[in-house]
Structures are given as C-alpha cells and as structure tokens.
Structure 1
Amino acid sequence: MRGKIKYQEAFHDVISLIEESRKRAYQKVNEELVLLYFNIGRMVSEKVEAGSWGDGSVNELATFINNRFPELRGFNRRGLYRMKQFYETYTSDEFVAAWMTHLNRKPDDMPEIVTTLLTQLQWSSHLHLLSKTKTASEKLFYIELAIAENLTVRELERQLNTAVYERTLLVNRNVSVTHKNIPSHLFRDPYIFEFLSLPKDHSEKDLESALVQNLKDFILEVGKGFAYMGNQYRIQVGNKDYYTDLLFFHRDLQCLVLFELKIQEFEPEFLGKLNFYLEALDRDVKRAAEKPSVGILLCKGKDHEVVEYAMARNISPAVVADYETRLIPKKVLEEKLHQLNNLIKKDL
C-alpha cells in the first residue's frame, strides 16, 4: 500500500511537470501572438500615416491574408484596424507619459511596455481594455491589476464593468482611509457584490452567508491577495467568546484582515468593536513575523464627515467603505470621482 502511495505521489509530480510545461508553451504562443498584432498594427499605422495606404488598401490586405491563410481568424478589416489601434494606443504620448510617471521610466525603456506588460495579457483582454477604458492611466492600472492577480479574460471584464479603477481612486482620495500603515490602493470604495442576489431587506447574517457561499467571487472583488481563514472566527477574551465576521490573511501585506459587516449606515461606535477585535487578533492570533491586523468595516452607506471625525483619533489600521449589492453605473462613479477632484483642486 505504501509503495502504491509513493508511486501516486511520483505520478502527480509528472502531471505537475506536464501542466507547467503546457502553461509555459501557452504563454509563449500568446507572447508571439500579441507581438505579431503589435507589429502588424505598427506597419498599418505607418503606411496609413504616410498616406501610402488608405481604407481600400487595408481591405485588400485583409483579403490577401485570408486567401493565403484561410484558417486564420481576426485578420479582417476590423481586426487589422484593431491592431492599428493597439499599436497607436500604447505608443501614444499620453501612454508614454503615464508609463514614465507611474513607473519612473525613461523613453528608452518603452520597448519594455510590449515585452514585460502587453505580452502577459491575452489578446481578448486587450480588446476589452481598448474598448472599455478612456485614459492611459486607467489602461495601465488594469494591465498591472490583471498581471498581479493573474486575471482571466472574464475576470478582467468583470473588473472593468464594475469600475474598479474609479473605486480604487475614490479610496485613495477619501477620508475613510487615514492610517499611514495601510496602502490604500489595495482597497476599494464602494465594494460591489452584484453576484450575491440578496433581497433589499437582508440581514447581516444573510450578507455573511452569501459572501461565504460566493467566496471565489468575493475574493475576486476584494483582490486575489486575500487568503480566506474563516467566518465566525472565535476569539476568546477573558471568560467570553467573541465571533468575528470574515477573517482573511493578505499575502502582500503579511497581516490578518478582518471584514466586519453592517447593513446600516456607519456609526462611530462600530469602530470600538472593530478595534477590540483587532487588538484580540494581534495579541492571540497574529504571529511574531506578521504585521498588525487591519480591519475593514463594510457599511450600507456612510457620512464622510462622520467617518472623518470618528477616524481622527483611531489608532488601529482600519478602513471604512460602502458596499452595494447592485452594479453602480460607471458614469455615476466617474462623476463622483470628478466631483472629488474638483474639491481637492479648490482646497489647493
């Protein structure tokens, strides 16, 4: 029996080698495909810009390719213009400026955009980015997000549709995050839980149960750096047991992250209970090498001035954010971000 188990372990190792090899081969094929589309886009763009090619020439090129390689897809007129757009987008002055500012790069480093960024995403992901983002900064944000969290095409589409970029910026510039030890770019405001299908009048227990049942989608929304540790996590203080809502460990922050759920608008006393839980986690659950625990208070709405006052003397790392169980139109979030930017400009 033991010999059979050893054989099975070795067999699984062989399967892992096969899977890793297939993954590397697929990645290499994808890299070559994206590079091909980029280079074709460059050629079409340069010919059109020089005036040597017009719309008719692009149509003829599409016909020529299809006659030579009838088995290939995506090389029709529309596909060729998408390749042209792909090349022009990522070599534009706007994107070069965003790349240099965000990553402290120089113009000489521009080829790295293609080799280290663009080729890591599937072509279908790039098509979503071209059609659903407006600015270079937004594109760069989603490219880095997709790479960091290894998002599939469908997962990236979901993040685009729920306006993660705008919601992350709203946290970055919002009074809800005031503790200097919290990297606010890892959090969002509001969080969108459209996948729960909760009734309008749901309880905190309903919300918690639905999030646990849809854990994969929940982690996609909050970020793939979160590793689930449990719900109703028991903490013993003195002779009493207390139960937290949702407890995670964040691999990048190297700390415990506690989500506490409230189905009503934020009240200052919510922070007292959250701080109590964080102190108990740090004393009895946190390991020596880990950083102080972070609390995320999810409320059904909040008054920003009340949050600012409540957080002003709060010493624990904490975030106060809204949650929604329905999709918020992207235009609404864009307008909200625009209004916040205008307020910041006035203060300056």
Structure 2
Amino acid sequence: MSDLIQPKGNSLFDRVVSILEQARGNVLRAANTNMVLAYWLIGREIVQELQGGQQRAEYGKQVIEELSVRLKTRYGRGFSTTNLRYIRTFYTVYADRHPEIRQIGSGELSPDSIRQTQSGVLDDLSMAVGATTAFREFSPVLSWSHYQVLMGVENVNERLFYEIEAEKEGWEVEHLKRQIHSFLFARLLKSRDKAAVMKLASQGHVLQTAADAIRNPYILDFLGLPEADALHESGLESAIIQNLQSFLLELGKGFAFVGRQKRLQFDADYFYVDLVFYNCILKCYLLIDLKIGELTHQDVGQMDSYVRMFDDKYLTPGDNPTIGLILCAKKNETIARYSVLNENRQIFASKYMLYLPTEEELRLEIEKERRLIESAIEDDSEGGEHGER
C-alpha cells in the first residue's frame, strides 16, 4: 500500500495538490534516508580498507585522496577529501548500527549494543554513567545534515537523546544545533541518578510530572538583551513576547501561550502574573514571574499565592494543578531549600541566562541544582524516620 493518504477536500485542484505534495515529500525522505545509508556503507568500506592496509597516516591520506579524485571524476561534487573523512567518521561513530533505514511507523526504537563514553559536562558531574543502548537503525526523518551535527556530540547518552528528540519533535538542523550548544541534555538532568540518565538517553524527554517540564537554567540568548543593571522586568517581558516563538521552543514541548499580565483579584486587591502558558501534554497552566535580581522569600510567597488563586478561579474539569515558575537572574540556594520551593512540587525557581554559557558555567549551575535536590531528599528521609518513631 502506498504511503500516500487519500486527500479530502471540495476542490479537485486541492486534492491533486495534496497528492503531489505528499509524493514529493516521500521522494525527499527516501532520498535523505538512502543517502544516510549509502554514506554509512561507504564509511564502512573506507574503514575496512584502511584497517586491511598499512598502519600509517600517509597511507590513509593517500587512499582517501585517490578515492576522492576518482569519485569526483565520475560523480562531480560532493566527494572531497573533507567529505570522505566525514563519511568515515560517520561510520566509526555509528559502527554498531544495523545498516538499514527504519520505516516510519515501525514502532519503538530498538536497543543494540553497549558503548563506552567520556565527555565534558556530564563526566565532570559523574552523570555520564558509561553505558547506554543504541538504535539498530537510522531514523527515516533525519537527514545527512542532522547526522553531521550529531557526530559532533561525543557523549553517547547526549547523542542518543538529541537524535530521539530531533526525530520526535521534527527539529530543523539549526534548532538541533542550538539545543546542543545550549546543553539541553545536561539542563534536563536533575540528579546523578543512573536510571534517570539512561531513561533520558533511551526515551527522550518525556513529560509526566511538573518537574519534568522545568529546565535549569533557561538560555535566553535569542532575546539579544545585555546583562546590565539597567534591565527592567518589563523590558525582559516585552523581549520575550517579541521573540515568543523562540521562547516557546526554549520553554519546552507542549506549551502554548495564553497571555501576559494576567489579572488575579483577591477581595479588593489586584495582582498581575507576568506570563501564562498552558501545557497540552500535562494538561495544566504554567504561571511565570520574571525577576531581574536574586530570588527572595517574597518572590516565593507571591508565586505560591498566584498558583492558589489561579487554581481556585480558572481551572476547569480535566485541568491538573497549576505550575508556578519564578525566572530569576540569580537563584538563592538557601531560600530554595528553606521555603515552599522545597515542599510544593508545583512551584519552581530557575535561573535564566541571557547568553550561551560555557561548559564550566553550566557545570557550576548543575552542581548547585544537584545540591538542592540532595538536600531535599535528605530532608524527606529525615522526616520519614522521625514519623516512624
């Protein structure tokens, strides 16, 4: 049966256009997937040739240069020595893959072999657990350009995560690059728990609880705002609205914009929530309060009140409890530990950064978050022990 879906519409022209567009899309996907497979096979041939020849750098260079000249003579552009080295690297990175293209709709991604890895931020935090599962086949919706970007991710857990997310969310190549450069995988990890790393790497980002929807920090470099004392909360809010599409991508999957400066009335007093979103996966609202300075107890108490009032006045049947997120320039660890943030699983505080962080800056941020989580776990454990006595 063809992959073409029977089009519906009143116009013959519209129906014909629908068929042609689907057919062209199928042709493009087939071309992309066959190119990926061909490059994997070519890379394997190059690697096997080099392994069977002389173990000298000069020999490898000569083999690739000669192959490049002959391929360009026959096929033209696309087979420079640089590209052939990329193709060879592609095979070495994905040598454990099954040389087939997985069909769309064929089911879950299947596990293959176990691989070792050491790299960057995750190793520094002991989060790179050293082994994970790989896919047996390549994605039918990711192009050679996607895989060129993915090859640059050394840590296998990170690489698998980005491949899954790029496929599931339909990321363009440029968006994939940004997510990698902003360390999305590391920002989503909230502990050093091995099972959590394995789950994120093998399943992608799955939203099941309010905590799953929160990142720390949020990278807002696309706003083009300076790190300056003159920056006001209203300016930050306006910049987010002007770059709403980019902010939604940074916010994460499933979010839709509801409004800004949402008015809440309590008796004769009025309060205003900076930004309101709705998550279609978790079926709940997200309230965001923007803070230019450091997190304070007043900020936490205010957000707690906002969430309670919002739940009381705006929730409808089917909605889950509202999430409150305080986005601040600096997250105070003491306040985060000894406030409602440590007790209420629906209220969070995260730092925002107006620039892409370095690996060291991100490592320090994740270290802080890990300490907060470990402290919360210790507090829960102590409370349970006291309750049993």
Calculate the TM-score normalised by the size of structure 1. 0.79
Pick the aligned partner of 2:114 from 97, 117, 135: 97
Q: How many residues align?
A: 324
Shift of 1:215: 0.5
Aligned to 1:143: 163
SS at match of 1:216: helix
* Residues 146-188 of structure 1, C-alpha deviations (whole Å, 9 max, x = no match): 223221111111222222223222x4569xxxxx973545432
Aligned to 2:197: none
Aligned to 2:73: 67
Aligned to 1:128: 149
Query: Which structure 1 residue ranges, 5 or more long, are not aligned?
Result: 1-6, 175-179
Shift of 1:28: 2.2
Preserved CA contact (<8 Å) 2:310 2:322 = yes
Pick the aligned partner of 1:82 from 86, 90, 115: 86
Q: Distance in 1 between matches of 2:43 and 2:241?
A: 45
Pick the aligned partner of 1:24 from 12, 23, 26: 26
The structure-2 alpha-carbon separation of the partners of 1:9 and 1:105, relative to structure 1 and needing over 3 Å to count, comes to farther
Shift of 1:205: 0.8
Q: Distance in 2 between matches of 1:280 and 1:340?
A: 28
Preserved CA contact (<8 Å) 1:149 1:225 = no
* Residues 93-123 of structure 1, C-alpha deviations (whole Å, 9 max, x = no match): 9x94269x99x997xxx6x4433x4x43222
* Residues 197-230 of structure 1, C-alpha deviations (whole Å, 9 max, x = no match): 2241211111111100011111122224211111
Q: Distance in 2 between matches of 1:231 and 1:271?
A: 19
Q: Distance in 2 between matches of 1:20 and 1:260?
A: 43
Moved more, 223-232 or 307-316: 307-316
Query: Which structure 2 residue ranges, 5 or more long, are not aligned?
Result: 1-8, 98-111, 117-127, 194-206, 379-389
Q: Is 1:324 matched up with 2:347? A: no
Q: Distance in 2 between matches of 1:254 and 1:343?
A: 27
Shift of 1:12: 5.4
Cα RMSD (Å) of the superposition? Answer: 3.6
* Amino acid paired to 2:90: F
Pick the aligned partner of 1:47 from 46, 49, 54: 49
Shift of 1:257: 1.5
* Amino acid paired to 2:209: I
Shift of 1:285: 2.4
Aligned to 1:305: 334
Shift of 1:302: 1.4
The structure-2 alpha-carbon separation of the partners of 1:293 and 1:344, relative to structure 1 and needing over 3 Å to count, comes to closer
The structure-2 alpha-carbon separation of the partners of 1:13 and 1:276, relative to structure 1 and needing over 3 Å to count, comes to farther
* Residues 246-292 of structure 1, C-alpha deviations (whole Å, 9 max, x = no match): 11112222221122111111112222221222223323323322322
After superposition, residues 278-297 of structure 1 pair within 5 angstroms as 278-297=307-326
Moved more, 335-344 or 16-25: 335-344
Give percent identity, aligned residues only. Answer: 28
Preserved CA contact (<8 Å) 1:266 1:303 = yes
Q: Distance in 2 between matches of 1:243 and 1:24?
A: 49
Aligned to 1:165: 185
* Amino acid paired to 1:114: E
Q: Flag as ranges the 4+ runs of structure 1 deviating above 6 A.
A: 7-10, 338-345
Q: Distance in 2 between matches of 1:307 and 1:127?
A: 40
Q: Which has the higher helix share?
A: 1
The structure-2 alpha-carbon separation of the partners of 1:218 and 1:309, relative to structure 1 and needing over 3 Å to count, comes to same
After superposition, residues 238-257 of structure 1 pair within 5 angstroms as 238-257=267-286
Shift of 1:301: 0.4
The structure-2 alpha-carbon separation of the partners of 1:329 and 1:77, relative to structure 1 and needing over 3 Å to count, comes to same
* Amino acid paired to 2:68: A
Shift of 1:195: 1.7
